[in-house]
Structure 1
């Protein structure tokens, strides 16, 4: 079970392993892997793209998003270490929200945590194998399509700060389904 004490311990670990001292999960600045571990309670280490194989036999895996699950992005030329993020909200069948770190730039630098950002399934088979992710620099979905290995399901509760008090489901749907929404 994921308890507040465990979150506090994870935040201390983040701060001592290269992350910036964080009063809350959302204050974290660093890599996506330690953030996803702290936010989900899934205790996997190593590059993000290795999480899918490492989870085999240790954690349930699948291709359906659930709150608290870690989505594992494949290793690509654009993501040489892959990426992991935690599902914070399921909006509808092809749209979810993520909470993650080290994706968009904030104040010119990467590494910051972002809460409740849009993830859109663009795979032809509706199986979450290809996605688009909201990107702050575009103020909307980025132009890239990223291959995904699947979801690793947490066996306990995820961090309380995983989703905001008032996530904007409508904005997430607009990001996903309205062409060029947010593009300038």
Structure 2
């Protein structure tokens, strides 16, 4: 990967091979700290790797998917949905509303990581739909609500970044939580 540095009237290119290297180069050049978060760097410099995706995937498996899969009754499902919404907000707000998986569906990386990205979203929808089914919803209703929820969360991330306002994302996730918990009409 290359970091293009502009200082005064000169432009130089520095080759870096890792995220820590990129942080060091940017710090030495005085680039604002807020632009050196892992999510921002991954988007700006296409630092997508199977390892970085695995780390994100492991976090979601542990904190989101497994609790949803483990919820066996209405009370457990309600708690798992609450935790999913809370942890999702905490995760994405702390990472500047960046979803690396979603970002990769838009760029040149799409072909390289299509299977990993598809697997991530499928796991989320399947885990949530399964929990909603065990909570009493029909197959059709639980699958529809799970798809709507993941789509709303991802769309909420885009709007929050566009508006520069994490509260937008939090409100969307809150409405999504309410929709997931609503009785069948």
The TM-score normalised by the length of structure 1 is 0.28
Larger radius of gyration: 2
TM-score by length of 2: 0.28
